[in-house]
Copies of this chain bind each other. A is one copy, B any other.
Amino acid sequence: MNFLPLLRELVRTYQAFDSFSARHIRALGLTTSQFDVIATLGNTPGLSCRDIGEKTLMVKGTLTGVLERLEKKRLITRRENPEDKRSVLVQLTPAGQRLFDRVFPAHLAWLAPAFARLTPEELGALQQQLAALRQALEQAPE
């Protein structure tokens, strides 16, 4: 019942993915977080910070800074949401849209060969096993 090797492998695999992915994204002039936001906003009419946080798995405090830097790069805009004055509508600018169109397919094409080394069955099984572990962690008593 030694789970430490599994833990180590979880971290190593996560880092291996992040490193492989980030290498490409950095060459495109973005950080991983910035890319995730751009990718999430693509083909949407605009999202709230809450929505973006849910999709990108970023907590709201982190998102504020990422959005600031994307705004400074003129890739997104933040405007008031008339439906709910607490929230903000984040949208891609035309430049952001062009970047999305150029960068998103390119990054999928970068990742695809790595994942093609595993069968769809393996990918599905891994996803299920990860979900089981995650639920165990989320439901574990304190």
| Interface residue ranges, A against B (CB under 8 Å) | 1, 3, 5-17, 19-20, 23, 57, 111-118, 120, 122-127, 129-134, 136-142
Separation in Å of the A42 CB from the closest CB of chain B? 13
Q: Are A9 and B123 in contact (CB under 8 A)?
A: no
A23: nearest chain-B partner, CB-CB: B142
Q: Are B139 and A1 in contact (CB under 8 A)?
A: no
Docked complex Cα distance between A139 and B115 (Å)? 11
The secondary-structure label for the interface of chain A is helix
Q: Are A116 and B1 in contact (CB under 8 A)?
A: yes
Docked complex Cα distance between A15 and B134 (Å)? 9
Separation in Å of the A27 CB from the closest CB of chain B? 10
Q: Inside 8 A of A112's CB, which chain B residues have their CB?
A: 1, 3
**Which of B23, B122, B137 makes the CB contact (< 8 A) with A114?**
B137
A141: nearest chain-B partner, CB-CB: B113
Separation in Å of the A121 CB from the closest CB of chain B? 11
**Further 5 A-B residue pairs, CB within 8 A, beyond A20-B137, A113-B141:** A12-B134, A16-B138, A17-B137, A20-B140, A23-B142
A19: nearest chain-B partner, CB-CB: B137
A140: nearest chain-B partner, CB-CB: B114
Asked if A127 meets B6 with Cβ closer than 8 Å, knowing A11-B57, A136-B117, the reply is: yes
